[in-house]
Amino acid sequence: MTPQEQNFADYKRAEKKALEIVAEMKSTSPKKADIEVALLVALFELHKGQTEAGTVGKIIQSHLETIVPFYAQQARPTSNGSS
């Protein structure tokens, strides 16, 4: 396995765990805002003591700029013929 393939495999394991955590959080609170803020807090905690808060915000924004187009394509509404 190449280093790039290993990095992707590591990412996929982390992504799988994150999605499991989100599923568990949905059963804990029906409020999406609670889950969203908790996940953002977790990102700041991940970097706590190593990275300034403003930099963490920039990291999050950069990741969003990469991820949003992917999900925007997936979420395009399909025409069902009704008006």
- Structure token digits, residue 55: 């930099």
- Give CA torsion, residues 23, 27, 28, 34, to 10 deg: 60
Residues 20 and 40 reside in one and the same domain? no
Domain count for the chain = 2
Q: What is the mean pLDDT of residues 8-35?
A: 95
Would residue 36 count as lying in a domain?
yes
Would residue 12 count as lying in a domain?
yes
pLDDT tens digits for range 22-68: 999 999 999 999 999 999 999 999 999 999 999 999 999 999 999 99
Residues 5 and 35 reside in one and the same domain? no
Output the pLDDT for position 79.
57
Which residues span the domain enclosing 64?
31-69
Residues 48 and 36 reside in one and the same domain? yes
Output the pLDDT for position 74.
87
Would residue 74 count as lying in a domain?
no
Q: What is the mean pLDDT of residues 9-21?
A: 96
Output the pLDDT for position 51.
98
Residues 35 and 63 reside in one and the same domain? yes
3-class DSSP state for residue 80? coil
Query: pTM for this structure?
Result: 0.76
- Structure token digits, residue 66: 């990469």
